[in-house]
Amino acid sequence: MFTILENRMLVPNLHMMRVMAPDVAQGVLPGQFAIFRPEEDGERIPLTVADWDMAEGSITVVYMNVGRSTAKLATLQKGDVVPTVVGPLGNPMEIGQFGTVMCVGGCYGIGSIYPIARALKEAGNTVITVIEGRSSFLLYWQEKLKTVSDRLLYMTRDGTQGKKGHIGSLPEIVRTLPMRVDRVILNGCNYMMMRGAQETLPLKIKTIVTLNTIMIDGTGMCGVCRVTVDSETRFACVHGPHFDGHKVNWAELTQRRKAYLPEEVIPLRSTRPL
């Protein structure tokens, strides 16, 4: 079934899992996700596919240990089985010849931006990859990202690597570049993507974001992932998850994402082992 080949912490609280899912690996395209169900009778959570190996039949995801389901996922070890890995779901990221594309990743988005950068590079774009975090020890996959980027830049809140700043400093990075940026792609938490999109709006750079919503089936059946984009209700699972960041109703998205915040950790308040 969905046997784990590798599951380890990359940097504090961020984990990567390589799991056998040949059917997903066979057809996945950059920007698509899979739904994971870490345990029987548990939640189904969407995770963007950050890499895959068609020959091996495996996919790789990067996830943050933040609630009961991801905590459970993090306890699984090589040889264990994930009850559900289903996909690839959602639309792939639009890959075209845009010119210069800035791929910005933060948190788990550093992982998920990788296949997007790779595809854009292969399509002939100039790829500037920017990864950001609170501190240098929270950044990962630098070597991987270097191979698919024309330039790899860093941004840390404490200035321990690259530019001192956060996603709000994106315009300063854009201004230091010798060329015009034709498109920005933001992958990270919703706050990071919202702030990034706010910054690129006055710069008039088309900005694509990959939304994180709550999902159940991932096929359009439940509608819990609905978001308002350009004043219209869309389902992130089947219409997205990639949208124009300048048109997303971020306040609503942020509220909806928080709907189960307490309940996601209540089951952790137990002495039972995960």
List contacts with another protein (CB under 8 A). Answer: 2, 23-24, 26-27, 37, 39, 41-44, 68-69, 72, 83-89, 216-224, 226-228, 233, 238, 251-252, 255-256, 258-260, 263-264, 266-267, 270
Of 106 and 218, which CB lies nearer to another protein in the complex structure?
A: 218
Degrees (nearest 5) of the Cα angle 226, 182, 128? 95
Of 14 and 89, which CB lies nearer to another protein in the complex structure?
A: 89
- Smallest separation, CB 43 to another protein (Å): 5
DSSP line for 205-244? -EEEEE-----SSSSSSS-TTEEEETTEEEEHHHH-SEEE
Of 177 and 238, which CB lies nearer to another protein in the complex structure?
A: 238
- Smallest separation, CB 61 to another protein (Å): 15
Of 90 and 162, which CB lies nearer to another protein in the complex structure?
A: 90
Dig out the tokens for 85 from the structure.
Answer: 């890995």
* Pairing state between β 45-53 and 33-37: antiparallel
- Smallest separation, CB 68 to another protein (Å): 4
Of 44 and 121, which CB lies nearer to another protein in the complex structure?
A: 44
Q: Which of 48, 67, 156 is nearest to 108 (CA)?
A: 48
DSSP letter for 38, please.
-
- Smallest separation, CB 192 to another protein (Å): 20
DSSP line for 114-128? HHHHHHHHHTT-EEE
- Smallest separation, CB 237 to another protein (Å): 10
Number of H helices, E strands in the chain: 9, 15
Instruction: Provide the H-helix boundaries in the chain.
Output: 22-27, 68-75, 109-122, 142-147, 170-176, 190-200, 236-239, 250-257, 261-265
Q: Which of 248, 103, 102, 126 is nearest to 175 (CA)?
A: 102
Of 120 and 229, which CB lies nearer to another protein in the complex structure?
A: 229
Of 90 and 196, which CB lies nearer to another protein in the complex structure?
A: 90
Instruction: Please state the φ and ψ torsions of residue 22, each to the nearest 5 degrees.
Output: -55, -35
- Smallest separation, CB 123 to another protein (Å): 23
- Smallest separation, CB 173 to another protein (Å): 32
Of 87 and 133, which CB lies nearer to another protein in the complex structure?
A: 87
- Smallest separation, CB 256 to another protein (Å): 6
Under 8 Å between Cβ of 16 and 111: yes
